[in-house]
């Protein structure tokens, strides 16, 4: 377990708090162990397949009943303090069906923005879950999935509340996986916020469907064969992200020079490596962490949640 650095993010397993007039929920982050584009829809959206792992990095959302009928949204990050936030968009979908009354929502960001960690999608999912609980709407998982499919590619993964899942289509198809592997990761966020749209546009299509690779990867995770997990880990967006955002290359280079496997999560910009296997020497990890921190990068440890 790393002790030489601390992440300024809540990393303990939090308990969602539900009251009569107020709820507090903790949206978690994710990483993509595997991500591939296998087709394209007529509307320009990409058909993907991905294996996702939920990790113990969290945002915090407080939702309270308020007078009147308006939604008052605020965030500790001013760039998100607007009506385009996915939390507000999630509530707009609910308002099409329900009279919600007045609500006051505050989002405390801990998950880096534009990092490929699914923070925005998780916030949307947990806003839906929190309001459903607070107001007693009684939404079924199918109804929540239907709303989630209109909000973002990872929203339904977080609604499913599964540690591991296989994701299909545009991301709305979620197959929870019976995997009990608890992986530990070192993650590096180089303070670059990437555009999902731009990175996907630059990726193109991979016409080869790595179906066997995905199934073998599931098997490797179930058997805890982490060398095979590293071998089969894949992200078809990595090349595009590196081409568009030149600053990402230094992260990958430092990982590789230290002899570490690394992979980009989602559309970036966070890179991760798996800790504990192979048994990297502690001193090598500390040296690597110090090099990243010297560059001003955000370095933190996380594990399967």
Q: What angle do CA 11, 13, 15 make, to 5 degrees?
A: 130
Exactly one of 24, 30, 109, 218 is catalytic; which is it?
Answer: 30
Q: Which comes out higher in pLDDT, residue 64 or 171?
A: 64
C-alpha distance from residue 282 to each of 137, 189, 274, 285 (Å):
50, 21, 14, 5
Kindly indicate the confidence band of residue 60, based on its pLDDT and cuts at 50, 70 and 90.
very high
pLDDT tens-place string over residues 230-287: 999 999 999 999 999 999 999 999 999 988 999 999 998 999 999 875 555 555 788 8
Residue 185 forms beta bridges with which residues? 274, 302
CA-based max dimension of the chain: 59
Give the range with max mean pLDDT: 22-31, 35-44, 162-171: 22-31
- pLDDT exceeds 90 at position 299: yes
Kindly indicate the confidence band of residue 43, based on its pLDDT and cuts at 50, 70 and 90.
low
pLDDT tens-place string over residues 184-236: 999 999 999 999 889 988 887 655 555 578 899 999 999 999 889 999 999 99
pLDDT tens-place string over residues 75-123: 999 888 887 889 999 999 999 989 999 999 999 999 999 999 999 999 9
**Catalytic residue list contains 154:** yes
Kindly indicate the confidence band of residue 38, based on its pLDDT and cuts at 50, 70 and 90.
confident
Kindly indicate the confidence band of residue 9, based on its pLDDT and cuts at 50, 70 and 90.
very low
Contact partners, residue 260, CB within 8 Å, separation at least 6: 186, 273, 280, 288
The backbone torsions φ and ψ at residue 238, rounded to the nearest 5 degrees and listed phi first, read -60, -45
Asked whether the CA dihedral 223, 168, 190, 119 is positive or negative, the reply is negative
pLDDT (0 to 100) of residue 15: 82
Identify the H or E element spanning 46. strand 46-58
Other beta carbons within 10 angstroms of residue 54's beta carbon come to 21
Exactly one of 59, 123, 132, 154 is catalytic; which is it?
Answer: 154
- pLDDT exceeds 50 at position 10: no
pLDDT (0 to 100) of residue 168: 84
- pLDDT exceeds 50 at position 181: yes
Domains and CATH numbers, the chain: 17-303 (3.30.230.10)
Mean pLDDT across 163-192: 90
Q: Which comes out higher in pLDDT, residue 152 or 122?
A: 122
């Amino acid at each position: 377990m790393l002790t030489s650095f601390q992440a300024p993010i809540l990393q303990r397993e939090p308990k969602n708090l539900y009251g009569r007039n107020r709820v507090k929920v903790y949206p978690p982050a994710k990483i993509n162990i595997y991500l591939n584009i296998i087709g394209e829809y007529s509307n320009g959206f990409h058909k993907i397949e991905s294996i996702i792992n939920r990790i113990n990095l969290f945002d915090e959302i407080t939702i309270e009943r308020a007078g009147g009928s308006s939604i008052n949204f605020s965030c500790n990050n001013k760039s998100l303090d607007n009506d385009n936030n996915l939390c507000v968009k999630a509530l707009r979908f609910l308002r099409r069906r329900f009279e919600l009354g007045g609500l006051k929502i505050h989002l405390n960001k801990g998950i880096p923005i534009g990092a490929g960690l699914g923070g925005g999608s998780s916030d949307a999912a947990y806003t839906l879950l929190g309001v459903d609980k607070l107001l007693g709407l009684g939404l079924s998982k199918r109804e929540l999935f239907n709303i989630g499919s209109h909000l973002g590619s990872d929203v339904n993964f977080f609604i499913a509340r599964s540690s591991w899942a296989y994701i299909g289509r545009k991301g709305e198809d979620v197959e929870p996986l019976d995997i009990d592997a608890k992986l530990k990761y070192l993650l590096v966020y180089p303070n670059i916020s990437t555009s999902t749209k731009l990175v996907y546009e630059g990726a193109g299509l991979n016409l080869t469907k790595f179906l066997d690779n995905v199934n073998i990867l599931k098997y490797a995770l179930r058997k805890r064969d982490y060398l095979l997990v590293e071998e089969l880990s894949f992200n078809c967006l990595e090349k595009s992200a590196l081409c568009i955002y030149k600053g990402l290359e230094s992260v990958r280079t430092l990982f590789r020079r230290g002899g570490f496997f690394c992979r980009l999560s989602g559309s970036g910009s966070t890179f991760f490596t798996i800790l504990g296997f192979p048994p990297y020497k502690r001193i090598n990890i500390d040296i690597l962490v110090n090099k990243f921190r010297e560059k001003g990068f955000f370095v933190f440890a996380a594990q399967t949640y």
